[in-house]
Amino acid sequence: MSRTSAKKAKGKIVRRLGLNIYGNQKFDRLLEKRPTPPGMHTRRRSRLSEYGLQLVEKQKLRFCYGMTERQFRTLFAKAKNQKGITGHNMLILLERRLDNVVYRLGMASTRSQARQMVKHGHVLLNGHKASTPSMLVNVDDKITPKAKKSSETMIKDILEANHREVPSWLAADEKAAEGLMVRMPEREDIPTVADEQLIVEFYSK
């Protein structure tokens, strides 16, 4: 899929869900300009059934973190098998993904960009190559740019441009262009675009 086609596809997803799940300001502008779902013009959004509401919440979170249905279902199963509240476990696992941590540290402007950076080997985890976006980051894990000028320059430039607030469970050194996971994230730390309880209900049917 070309970059233009990918943008159009994301635009349709944003319009269908009625929410900017990607965090990119261009989608806020799109929703202001075209607030109705694709294929609708003057009609209001139809009222969803209970199942429909649950499905929409699941799709919001899945698309937000850039995961396939199979990946998301696997992560949910892992969350369900852990002790504690399943919905909270799910969000914590999502936040611990390497691509998301790179994004939260401000090393990438979007999760999509973070995912590509990880896949292309621009990021090291504890000094070692880490090219799998779904890898889970643990306490005291350190994230740095690949020891290559192009990678270091790219990440430093993004950090300088972003100035994003880093969550308290992470620590970022903008000058050194590196980050550290100082503790496990908790539910209270995680802003979310979806109702996790409805997602739990969706997969519990």
Same-domain check for residues 135 and 162? yes
Q: What single string gives the DSSP state of each residue in 63-115?
A: HHTT--HHHHHHHHHHHHHSSS-HHHHHHHHHHHBHHHHHHHTTSSSSHHHHH
CATH number of residue 8's parent domain: 1.10.1050.10
Same-domain check for residues 9 and 43? yes
3-state secondary structure at position 191: coil
Same-domain check for residues 87 and 161? no
Same-domain check for residues 73 and 113? no
**Residues 76-119: pLDDT tens digits?**
999 999 999 999 999 999 999 999 999 999 999 999 999 999 99
Q: How far is CA 3 from CA 10, 44, 65, 117, in A?
A: 11, 31, 18, 16
| Structural domain harbouring 28 | 3-93+192-203
**Residue 126: CA atoms inside 13 Å, Cβ hemisphere, count?**
8
Same-domain check for residues 61 and 87? yes
- Highest-confidence segment of 35-39, 64-68, 158-162: 64-68
Torsion 46-52-57-62 (CA) sign: negative
Q: How many independent structural domains does the chain possess?
A: 2
- Where would I find the H helices in the chain? 3-17, 25-33, 50-64, 69-81, 86-96, 98-104, 111-119, 149-162, 196-203
Q: Averaged over 124-140, what is the pLDDT? A: 96
Same-domain check for residues 41 and 15? yes
Same-domain check for residues 9 and 32? yes
Same-domain check for residues 46 and 65? yes
Same-domain check for residues 60 and 104? no
Same-domain check for residues 71 and 132? no
Tell me which residue has tokens 């698309």.
Answer: 63
CATH number of residue 118's parent domain: 3.10.290.10
**Residues 51-84: pLDDT tens digits?**
999 999 999 999 999 999 999 999 999 999 999 9
Same-domain check for residues 103 and 79? no
Instruction: Judge whether 72 and 60 are in contact, CB under 8 Å.
Output: no
Per-residue pLDDT at 128 exceeds 90? yes
Same-domain check for residues 106 and 142? yes
